Structure 1
Amino acid sequence: MDISAPVHAGSPVFPGDTAYSQQWCATIAPGCPVNVSAITLSPHVGSHADAPLHYDAEGPAIGAVALDAFIGPCRVIHAIGAGPLITWEHIAHAAQNLPPRVLVRTYERMPVDRWDGALAAYAPETVERLADLGVVLIGIDTASIDPAESKALPSHQVIRRRGLRVLENLVLDAVPEGDYELIALPLKFTTADASPVRAVLRALG
């Protein structure tokens, strides 16, 4: 199952962030055998992995982050309509014997065509408890694990301190609650604060 958000000129971005744009540098024509484009975008457009550099001035760029957290067993947990913060009570029903990766679905239908300033986010205490249980990656179907208006980014600071990885803007609309294999590898951008991912889930076994 492809759980990646579509990326195009209309993809929503955080207010003030760089939207996706594309220009054609070459097009197929007599004397030119290929189409070649140039793209401009924030690495936070669409489904993406944050690098520690995003929330830690001394943190590594995404190209220096090990890939092991981004591939392996995961659990999708439904907390549809939960918010503004996802507390432990919203996910406790599916928190037994957790695999190392947890993705939380909060939308009935993820708004791939508009910005949602009222997005649901993780309560930092929830992230702490997941880390205590051995979770190494958390994901969500909203644009941030912190509220859109937050300046302190407490949940990002928990993952900084606990060494977790994060995926944001996943599309979990069609994904039943349960366990899967996650594959969501970031690009090897050597100086970037995030990277787009093509996130997929596969059935286990």
Structure 2
Amino acid sequence: MVSWPGDPSPKLIKVLSINEGDACNVTKLEMGVHTGTHIDSPNHFIEGGITTDSMELEVLMGKCLVIEITSKSNVQVSDLCDFEIGKYERLLLKTKNSVHWENDSKKFDKNFIALSLEAAEYLVKSGIKLIGIDYLSIEAYGVSEHKVHHHLLNNQIAILEGLNLSTVDPGEYELICLPLKLVNCDGAPVRAILKDVS
């Protein structure tokens, strides 16, 4: 599984094994909380911000819109204008990033498609409460001020990252996205599923 540069790669470590005479199998999982499909809490970039265990679960479940952005650069306002985004509280962006999940790529792509600051501002004004994207970050690699994260999180927008949308068609769905209840944490792995409502 691909992970952000500098973050620990996921490891499964066998602690107990029936084959070795133990009563049961037990496996230890080691990984960063921003690995794979995960949620960012405000505390990820805002000191004293809401932590994962205090996030409203209602925001993480309900009607959502999946749109496909075909641009080969970061998502701009012009990429979003043709969609009725204001009718939805949850928006998932399927981009060219999805090819990484199709290929099960383990190599980090520094040139992934991300959200521009102007697009983030547009989404806040549209009333979105959750934004998701099909790579490990909503924000471009190598930025120093993290304005996209700050703008979204300061406006209480939940950020869902690392989505595998490779087999998902654009359209309306019900999103069910439940994070691990990690106390006082800046993010958490989630199991995110989309239920077809058409």
Is TM more than 0.5 here? Answer: yes
SS at match of 1:109: helix
Q: Using the alignment, how far apart are the partners of 1:46 and 1:96 within structure 2? A: 26
* Deviations, residues 25-62 of structure 1 (Å, cap 9, x unaligned): 10014752311011110011100001111111111221
1:35 to 13, 25, 39: 25
Whether the aligned pair in 2 keeps the contact of 1:72 and 1:183 (CA below 8 Å) is yes
Q: Which runs of 5+ in 1 are unaligned?
A: 1-10
Identity %: 29
Amino acid at match of 1:104: L
Q: Using the alignment, how far apart are the partners of 1:155 and 1:58 within structure 2? A: 18
User: Is residue 180 of structure 1 aligned with residue 170 of structure 2?
Assistant: no
- Count of residues paired in the alignment: 194
Q: Using the alignment, how far apart are the partners of 1:151 and 1:65 within structure 2? A: 26
Amino acid at match of 1:166: I
User: Is residue 135 of structure 1 aligned with residue 119 of structure 2?
Assistant: no
SS at match of 2:39: strand
Matched ranges for 1:5-84 at <5 A: 11-29=1-19, 31-83=21-73
The change in CA–CA distance for 1:29 and 1:110 in structure 2 (over 3 A counts) is closer
Q: Using the alignment, how far apart are the partners of 1:80 and 1:172 within structure 2? A: 14
Whether the aligned pair in 1 keeps the contact of 2:120 and 2:148 (CA below 8 Å) is yes
Amino acid at match of 2:139: D
Q: Which runs of 5+ in 2 are unaligned?
A: none
Q: Using the alignment, how far apart are the partners of 1:87 and 1:81 within structure 2? A: 9
2:92 corresponds to which residue? 103
RMSD: 1.6
Hey, which of these two has a bigger chunk of helix by percent? 2
2:75 corresponds to which residue? 86
